[in-house]
Structure 1
Amino acid sequence: MSEKDLEVGNVVADSPGGGTIDIDEIVRKYDTEARFRSLKGWQGALVTVIAVAMSVFHFYTAGFGLLDAVKQGAVHLAFTLSLVFLLYPISSKSAKDKIPWYDVLLALGAAYGSLYLVINFDALSARSGLPTTMDLAMGFMTMALLMEATRRISNPVLPILALLSLIYCYFGRSMPSILAHRGFSIPRIVNHMYLGTEGIFGVPLGVSSTFVFMFILFGAVLEKTGMGRFIIDLSLALAGWSTGGPAKVAVLSSGLMGTISGSSVANVCTTGMFTIPLMKSVGYKPHFAGAVEAVASTGGQIMPPVVGAGAFILAQILGVPYIEVAIAAIVPALLYYGGVLVQVHLEATRLGLKGIPRDQLPPLLPLLKSQGFLLIPLVVIVYFLLAGYTPLKAAFNGIIASYLLSFLNKDTRLTPKRLIEAFEAGARGAIGVACACATVGIVVGMATLTGLALRVAGTIIALSGGKLLNTLVLAMVSSILLGTGLPTTANFIITSMMVAPSLLQLGVPAMAAYMFVFYFGIAADLSPPVALAAYAGAGIAGSDPMKTGFTAFKLALAGFLVPYIYVYNPMILLIGYEPLPFAQAVVTAVIGIFLLGMSTIGFYKAEMSWPFRILAMIGALGLLIPGTKTDIMGLSILVVIHLWQTMKARKASS
């Protein structure tokens, strides 16, 4: 596929019946945050000014000092809510090219409701716990507008959950015994959710208003330098020539893109618009091509150094430097992507698919010479994190580095226009996370006010009979079910509060427990019936969505097993690190992933019969479960399968 076949912005891709596929339409269908108004004239300029001002505020405070936590969160929320009401219509039937008068009023009201805390900060601090009628009115209005804004940019699930949380706080006396509590008055509820630091303006919004925003802005600035195109070219140069090269390009490019992008669907549509038609052109079936891109793009949320927005909250919960979370995520992420690479290689070998001729690929050394400097900002981020700087300062320095380095090549230069576009894109990309974090703050506030979180953890342990494996399965199901209706960040916050404590009570290390629910919250994007990343991939590939979803689930099977591995063997997360046990755990896990790929694809040197596929699955589990005996069993099975399949392949070729 040549560059002429791609039109950035309104991408054209092949469809099964000929014609073209509008990538923008696919993004809008599966990513609610992409359903914004297309504004021109003074209204478009107004949105640009507010968005750029938001990015400038966060960039300045990151570099020269944050405000008080509540003030920082309040300004962040004021920008967020005003942008949501100006950009997102009240319903799908509303006009998409202009802002109605009532949304202007809602934007002003939401901004004032948030800034009320900044304007009256000293007075509110002086009368802490004794809110006035005006304080309560502002709180009630802000909560209502927050839930409406979240509904518009996301879906109704999270606002409904927040509303049910408020109702539960009030009607506690009327609840069944397992859920009952003494109940709280409306003033007490509003005071806790709006004026306290355990509700809307709690840890989730605090993380969103600092670390998360700056890393999203960093990604937007890096993207404007042409990083996306460079990543695809680099992946083509590294893997495009190999067996089934285009699929490996999809895995590599999406993994690299994931280091700067936290959205599964957006990642699918960014890299998938190129890789999916390329995979189809060399012989991969459409549903397989869409599934590969979906799995690779979803894995971007667990890929260091940035990982996903939930990782910053994980670091706050654990009270550890963010770099510890990023380092702990390295081996699981490599196992995840290793599992996908093994399967696409075996599928290509099974189908006899070749790579792209080298003369049609960008040469590696000239590419690195002309644009390799675009990778330096990522190195800068890692350096400052390892040097002990906060993620905020690391992202700030990364943005500065991106800007300065962009002038090394005229095609990557961040002109004033591009910089404004990057700052606007950064703000737009952050408001969805901000709404989710603020709204889920209501759920968190409910849990702390009523003590529900501890009761949920106790119930999970009771249902599982106190057995770790049963508890892990329940935690997995809970995380995936929540993920079908909630954004990843909101999902992680709720499961970390209500599900992870049950794992902690059974002795699972904190990093492993929280990482477990984080992984499975992300996995919801690949789990039918609501597999948004897979459905987006299907839209580009022109394949059946459910078939693509189930294929994605199969390809991501390694990702579904990895969390169990590090719960039973925390060494994978570098917990209690010892060189030899760590090396054994990693090597056997890699071999286990290879056997798992044989089992799911059903091919190794030759077609594998079902008994041997089942045997390969047993061997994979043996190698993935920690223990020398199980490792020996798994390796023995690998030897048997290798010998048998080699003989079978020789017999078939003779």
Structure 2
Amino acid sequence: VMDPLLEGAKSTLVIGATVGVIGIIVGTIQLTGIGLKFSQIIIDLSFGYLPLAVLLIGIASLVLGMGVPVTAAYLITAVLAVGALTDMIAQMQWGVTLYELKQPLENLMPWDAAYVAISSQIGWALIASHMIVYWFSQDSNITPPVCVAAYAGAAIAGSDPWKTGWTAFKFAKMLYVGPFLFAFSPGFLLGGPGFIMPWYQVASTWFTIILGTIAFGSLTMGYFLCPTTVLEWIICAMATLLLFFPKIVHWAVGIDLPTLVVDAVGIGLWIMVLFMQKTRIRKNPDLTLPVAQPSEVA
């Protein structure tokens, strides 16, 4: 009985010390106004372009995660970046900043009623911002050169730490795509502006994201049912973009197509790759055989 109690006390000391240090950092950031300056820096460096802002926050989380625990990396990055992210997501969805949304509401109704109205609208944007930071705060565990979780796994397995780190990086590819889905696919968080979405829209979003994940895996690994050709790889890339980000057609060519139409095109491209590979396998069944690694060859 005493041994578990002793181990629990030791773990609590580590957690308590970490939380105490984080509290000092967060308090310093809030009292000095560094958080507001950092948020403005993110907006300036990204030129107000949300994908670039998400990428910059991912890099900041990775660097922070190299020197502090995951929880600390999340809390520090959240204090610094969530404000800017929430404002940019609101700008993308409604065409106005949170301040511009707040002013007319406060002029029309009491402050507390305006606060409730604003909260119902920005709830999704705020949660999306925190989820972006939270997901990115995990990447330092499996991203070389400092990937503590991968190195711990390598020590247990007796494998090469560097190769294990890069293997973990390859297997965790969706960890880097997820934050962009949080930013641009409200259904991924079961909500959206107003924080209410019909169930069929949520189901449609999740269905296309699942298919997009399969296409993305084929794209990055160069293998689906069998190794992909260059043409199949290009089609997988197009299917991935259309299934993950239906608005990309509007951003790229200025044509505002319904989401269902874009999803249907993406699914059609994915099915095309499926049939192309099945046709190749029927002609040459050996395509599905595993390729022996040099170390496996006698």
- When the two structures are superposed, what TM-score results if normalisation uses the length of structure 2? 0.74
Counterpart Cα distance in 1 of 2:178 and 2:262: 16
Question: 1:616 — aligned with what?
Answer: 236
Which of structures 1 and 2 has the larger relative contact order (alpha carbons within 8 angstroms, sep 6+)? 1
Alignment partners' CA distance in 1, 2:236 and 2:8: 46
- Preserved CA contact (<8 Å) 2:54 2:179: no
Query: Equivalences for 1:97-496 in 2 at 5 Å?
Result: 417=1, 420-496=2-78
The residue that corresponds to 2:168 in the other structure is 552
For 1:429 and 1:614, locate their aligned partners in 2 and report how far apart those are by CA, in whole Å: 50
d(CA) in 2 for partners of 1:653 and 1:525?
39
CA contact (8 A) 2:132 2:179 kept: yes
Equivalent position amino acid for 2:78 in 1: S
Secondary structure of the residue that 2:67 maps to in structure 1? coil
CA contact (8 A) 2:235 2:270 kept: no
1:527 aligned residue: 143
Post-superposition Cα deviations, 1:188-210, rounded to whole Å, max 9, x if no partner, equal xxxxxxxxxxxxxxxxxxxxxxx
Please, which of 242, 245, 254 is the counterpart of residue 625 of structure 1? 245
* 1:586 CA drift (Å): 0.6
**What is the distance in 2 between the residues matched to 1:653 and 1:569?**
39
Find the counterpart in structure 1 of residue 87 from structure 2: 505
Q: Which residue of 2 aligns with 1:636?
A: 268
> Which contiguous aligned blocks of 4+ residues in structure 1 show a shift greater than 4 angstroms?
none
1:546 Cα offset (Å): 2.2
Aligned residues between the structures: 236
CA contact (8 A) 1:475 1:500 kept: no
Deviation by residue 1:613-651 (Cα, 9 ceiling, x = unmatched): 343233123211243343223212211111110011111
Letter in 2 for 1:568: F
Deviations 1:226-253 (A, max 9, x none): xxxxxxxxxxxxxxxxxxxxxxxxxxxx
In structure 2, relative to structure 1, the CA distance for the partners of 1:423 and 1:578 (3 Å cut) is farther
- TM, length-normalised to structure 1: 0.35
- Cα pair 2:39 2:83 within 8 Å, conserved: yes
Is 2:226 the partner of 1:594?
A: no
Percent identity between matched residues is 31
Rg bigger for which structure? Answer: 1
Post-superposition offset of 1:610: 4.1
CA distance in 1, matches of 2:176, 2:149: 16
1:584 aligned to 2:204? yes
* Root mean square deviation, CA, Å: 1.8
- In the other structure, the counterpart of 2:154 is 538
Residue of structure 2 in register with 1:653 after alignment: 285
Query: CA–CA distance in 1 between the matches of 2:15 and 2:274?
Result: 48
Following the alignment from structure 2 to structure 1, what is the Cα–Cα distance between the partners of residues 20 and 234? 46
**What is the distance in 2 between the residues matched to 1:611 and 1:548?**
31
* 1:574 lines up with 2:190 in the alignment: yes
Which ranges of structure 2 fall in alignment gaps of 5 or more residues? 91-124, 247-258, 287-298
Distance 1:552 1:621, change over 3 A: farther
Query: Does structure 1 retain, via aligned residues, the 8 Å contact 2:215–2:237?
Result: yes
Gaps of 5+ in 1: 1-416
| Aligned 8 A contact 2:50 2:89 in 1 | no
The amino acid of 1:451's aligned partner reads G
Distance 1:558 1:506, change over 3 A: same
1:497-537 Cα offsets, whole Å, 9 max, x none, are 11111101213511110111111111110111111111222
Whether the 8 Å CA contact 1:592–1:624 is kept in 2: the answer is: yes
